[in-house]
Every structure is written in C-alpha cells, then in structure tokens.
Amino acid sequence: MKILLIGNGAREHCIAEALTRSFGSELATYAKAKNPGIFALSKQYQLGSYTDESAILDFARKVKPDFAFIGPDDPIADGVADLLLELGIHSVAPLKTVARLESSKSFTRDLVKKYGIPGNPKFKIFYDMNGVRKFLEELGGEFVIKADGLTGGKGVLISGEHLAGIEEGEEYAKKCIGKFGRVVIEEKLVGQEFSLMSFVDGVHVVDMVPVQDHKRAFVDDKGPNTGGMGSYSSSNHLLPFLTQKDLDDAHAITEKVLAALFKETGAQFKGIMYGGFMAVKDGVKLIEYNARFGDPEVMNVLPILKTDFVEICQAILAGNLDKIKIEFEKKATVCKYIAPEGYPDKPVSGQKITIENQKPASVKEGDLKMYYASVDQKPDGLYLSSSRAIAFVGIADTLEKAEQIAESACGNVKGHVFYRPDIGTKALIEKRVGMMRKLRGK
Ligand code: AMP
Ligand code: GLY
C-alpha cells in the first residue's frame, strides 16, 4: 500500500507514524520543510510549496500512490484533493467545495441554520457596516468577531478579552470586511471547549476520543491565542467536565452537518471532520468545524488507536466505515508543545536547541511519544523555526501519570523555548470542572 502524505508538522509526523504502523505500507511525503521524524518514516521525500500544482502533480505521478492523505488546512482549502483526483488519486481529505466547512465560517453557520441543525449561537453575517453597531448592542456588548477566511487560528477576536468595547468591535469588523468581503459576528458563549474529531466516509461518522486543547500561550490560560499549546484526553474517553449526553449531542450535530453538506453541494465529505464544541449552561454549542485533524489533538488520539489506521483510511474512501470496528485504548494522554520564546507574537528563530536524555529511564517504551513540528535539522543539530517546535505526549492509565510523563520530557529540551507546565495538571482540570459545575448549577 503506497500512501502520499502532504504536510510537515507534528500533526503529519503523528499521521505518518500511524500510517507506517500498518503492515506493508509505504510512505512518500510532499512537504514544505524537512521534518526529521517524517523524513525517517518516508521512502520518498519531496520538498515543495502547497500551491505549486505542477510540482504536486509531478510527484504524485512519480509515486503512483494507492491514496493520498492531506494534513494541513491550507492545501485542503486550496483544493489539492481535487487536483490529485485529476490523476485518479483519491484523498483522505475533502474536496474544495466541502472543505468550505473550515475555510468559510459564514458557509458553516449558514448551513447549520438552513438545515435546522442545533448548535449555532446567535449570529449574523455582514457585508458592510450597516447594522453592525446595532447587532453588537443587541448582544449586550458580549460578542465574538470572526474573519471569514483561513487565518491560522488568529482571526477571531472576543469582547472583554481582545476587544475592549463596541468601538473596537466595529473597527475590527471593518478590517475583516475590507480583507474578506464579509464578517461573522456572534454571541459570546461561556463554557468549556472540547474537540471532537470524527472519521467520515461521506455517510457514516465514527468519533474519536474527545480532547481538550489549550489555545492560550501562557500558564493559567493567559496571553495571546496560539495554534494550541497542548491537550489532554481521559482514559474513560470522556472529559472530566463533559457528560455522555454532551458527547452524544456533539455527535448528532456532526452527523446532521455531514448530511446537510451533501445535500447542499452534491459532494461527499471524506476525511476528518473536527468539531470545535463548547459545553455551555444548557447543552452543547458549535464553535466551528475544521476539515482535518487538530494539531495538537491528533497526538492524543492516533497513538492510542488500536485499529489499523490504513484500514480506516481505506474504509473512508470506500464509504464503508460502518463495516469496521474502530477502537482506542482506554488510556489517558497529555500532550505538551515546546515553543520558541516569544511565540506566537515575536518568536525567536534560528536558535539551536538540544534534547537531553529523550526518554527518562522511569518511563516505559511507548508511554512517551515525541513529534517534530517546526524545527530545522542541520548536520550539527536541531534549530528552531518560528513556530511550535516539538510535542511530547505522555500515555498512561491516569491523567496524573500521563501528565508527569509529558512534563518530565519537556524539561529535557534546552534552549530559548517555553511550554505550559500546567496542561493536564489536576489543579487546572479541577478549575474547569468547577467552572462547569457552577455554570450548570450542579
Ligand atoms: P475559531 O477559530 O472559530 O475556533 O475560534 C477561535 C477561538 O475563539 C475558539 O477556540 C474559542 O475559544 C473562541 N470562540 C469562537 N467562537 C466563540 C463564541 N461564539 N463564543 C466564545 N468564544 C468563541
Ligand atoms: N488545535 C487547533 C487546531 O488544530 O486548529
């Protein structure tokens, strides 16, 4: 089985590991940079840009893969799955028309509304500034303003956090309209966020284990939003603040959205649907969908996947996900990202880092995973690029143990880096559980 992988982050390193665990699989990777982890797992490795269509097609013609797996959001949104289909190569990633689920927030809000699916907060889409102020006032000054395009997770600004009041809201809305032609404004929800990623074959939806990400850069959820500083999942495949009903409700939303997508576009979504949900006072709300695996969330789920991942990919493409049993180990996981100092606003770059004693002697083989993200491997060692550098994942029977494993590895990275020691700790998780209890009056 020959697989063409596109992407070079820690997410794709983790995907590459899962794909190559399958007996007889062979990986050829097309990437923007040399990720030392993916490079070591690949038979062929081609550097190139995601927008260079002829370079992608040339490599695909040479590789002749049985299927492709596209990791990052930008080549998915740009239609690389459509491009590969011209050669008859199917991708575990959606075609451009259904990838709008992620690339256009207004498309998804409208779709959910049009098909009467629950989960939307109060929202409106504006194409000019007419009525913006009135709506911000209607929301009682508690609002969220979303740029309607791919912004690397940095296009969403929230009142009280990033926007001091209605005037600043108007200013940002104007900027968004200037850049993308429209803006989404919605009610500010209060609750706990969780990520529920699902394997999707066009018709069937099979959920992975729910995960909680940490978007803020610094300890105690302070500082600017990032791509995600780390994440955790529980051994019972719930989250400490989540009920089974919350999870069932989120699943039902994804099933309905998948069906609505087909009705709306005539195209089947095949790949990963990643719902960002919020558990709120009276249920579950939809924050957004992504059309790919989450980064870091993928690192919480694929390492504990018991089912052969290549088999799952084949079932996604064949439309028979209902015919296979997909299982995850009953383990807790904690992922922590090492990032360059100054990330995300003014990251240092080009500085050397060293990893001492990769696996502490007390940690069992397989209980600690390391995935490379933005690093540059030179003959004399590893260098930082300007984004998240390395992720460590601890895997254990309890969250406490998983956290300790990840934590012990983070301390071994020396250089101009930082990470969040609080991710996955009892203190932080209890805070979240307490917040939910208070909100729901239980
Ligand atoms: P998004 O890019 O849509 O995931 O938004 C980025 C982040 O903004 C989310 O992870 C949430 O933390 C926050 N956010 C988005 N929409 C809302 C909302 N309606 N209410 C509160 N927070 C939100
Ligand atoms: N964990 C955030 C993302 O992958 O978009």
Tokens representing 201 are 């074959």
What is the C-alpha separation between 13 and 11, in angstroms, rounded? 5
Which tens digit of pLDDT belongs to each residue from 89-133? 999 999 999 999 999 999 999 999 999 999 999 999 999 999 999
- Spatial neighbors of 294 by CB under 8 A, at least 6 apart, are 11, 195, 197, 211, 213, 228, 231, 274
**In the predicted model, is pLDDT for residue 378 greater than 90?**
no
Provide mean pLDDT across the span 17-21. Answer: 98
Residue 175 sits at φ, ψ, to 5 deg, of -60, -45
Give nearest CA residue, ligand 2 atom 5. Answer: 294
Ligand 1 is surrounded, with C-beta below 6 A, by 121, 144, 146, 153, 156, 158, 186-189, 193, 215, 276, 287-288
More confident position, 152 or 80: 80
**Within a 13 Å sphere around the CA of 263, how many CA atoms are in the beta-carbon half?**
10
Q: Under the phi-then-psi rule, with left for phi > 0, alpha for psi from -120 to 50, and beta for the rest, what region is 196?
A: beta
Provide mean pLDDT across the span 143-155. Answer: 85
On whether the CB atoms of residues 202 and 268 are closer than 8 A, the answer is yes
Ligand 2 is surrounded, with C-beta below 6 A, by 153, 213, 227-228, 290, 294-295, 297
Q: Ligand 2 atom closest to Cα of 231?
A: 1
Query: Between the CA of residue 45 and those of 4, 88, 141, 253, 328, what are the distances in Å?
Result: 10, 21, 51, 38, 30
With the most atoms of ligand 1 within 8 angstroms of its CB, the residue from 123, 136, 144 to mutate is 144
**In the predicted model, is pLDDT for residue 423 greater than 90?**
yes
With the most atoms of ligand 2 within 8 angstroms of its CB, the residue from 290, 335, 387, 420 to mutate is 290
- Of the candidates 28, 4, 180, the one whose C-alpha atom is nearest the C-alpha of residue 80 is 4
Give nearest CA residue, ligand 1 atom 1. Answer: 288
Strands of 67-70's sheet, edge to edge? 44-47, 26-31, 2-6, 67-70, 91-92
Report the interhelical angle of 105-114 vs 96-103 (nearest 10°).
Answer: 100
**Would strands 205-207 and 212-213 be described as parallel, antiparallel, or unpaired?**
unpaired
Tokens representing 336 are 């922590």
Q: What is the pLDDT of residue 59?
A: 98
Query: Between the CA of residue 385 and those of 47, 143, 295, 413, what are the distances in Å?
Result: 16, 35, 17, 15
- Spatial neighbors of 424 by CB under 8 A, at least 6 apart, are 230, 232, 334, 336, 394, 399, 402, 403, 406, 407
Q: What is the pLDDT of residue 112?
A: 98
Ligand nearest to the CA of 291: 2
Ligand 1 centroid – CA 385 distance (Å): 27
With the most atoms of ligand 1 within 8 angstroms of its CB, the residue from 139, 158, 162, 222 to mutate is 158
- Spatial neighbors of 381 by CB under 8 A, at least 6 apart, are 352, 353, 354
- The mean predicted confidence, pLDDT, of the chain is 96
Q: Ligand 1 atom closest to Cα of 287?
A: 16
What is the C-alpha separation between 271 and 77, in angstroms, rounded? 13
**In the predicted model, is pLDDT for residue 439 greater than 80?**
yes
pTM to 2 decimal places: 0.96
Provide mean pLDDT across the span 404-432. Answer: 96
- Residue 434: strand, helix, or coil: helix
Tokens representing 276 are 């960002």
Ligand 1 centroid – CA 424 distance (Å): 21
Which tens digit of pLDDT belongs to each residue from 325-346? 999 999 999 999 999 999 999 9
Ligand 2 centroid – CA 428 distance (Å): 20
On whether the CB atoms of residues 329 and 261 are closer than 8 A, the answer is no
230: confidence class by pLDDT, cuts 50, 70, 90: very high
On whether the CB atoms of residues 337 and 229 are closer than 8 A, the answer is yes
**Would strands 2-6 and 26-31 be described as parallel, antiparallel, or unpaired?**
parallel
On whether the CB atoms of residues 326 and 204 are closer than 8 A, the answer is no
Provide mean pLDDT across the span 386-407. Answer: 97
Q: Ligand 1 atom closest to Cα of 288?
A: 3
Q: What is the pLDDT of residue 46?
A: 98
With the most atoms of ligand 2 within 8 angstroms of its CB, the residue from 11, 195, 302 to mutate is 195
Provide mean pLDDT across the span 377-400. Answer: 94
Which tens digit of pLDDT belongs to each residue from 22-37? 999 999 999 999 999 9
Q: What is the pLDDT of residue 141?
A: 93
On whether the CB atoms of residues 14 and 43 are closer than 8 A, the answer is no
* Highest mean pLDDT of the ranges 220-224, 244-248, 356-360: 244-248
Q: What is the pLDDT of residue 153?
A: 67
- Of the candidates 24, 9, 7, 23, the one whose C-alpha atom is nearest the C-alpha of residue 68 is 7
Tokens representing 70 are 């596209």
Residue 144 sits at φ, ψ, to 5 deg, of -130, 135
Q: What is the pLDDT of residue 154?
A: 75
Q: What is the pLDDT of residue 356?
A: 86
Ligand 1 centroid – CA 358 distance (Å): 35
Provide mean pLDDT across the span 254-274. Answer: 98
Ligand 1 centroid – CA 287 distance (Å): 6
Omega within 30 of 0 (cis) for the link into 379:
no
What is the C-alpha separation between 273 and 201, in angstroms, rounded? 10
Ligand nearest to the CA of 123: 1
246: confidence class by pLDDT, cuts 50, 70, 90: very high
Omega within 30 of 0 (cis) for the link into 347:
no
Ligand 2 centroid – CA 131 distance (Å): 32
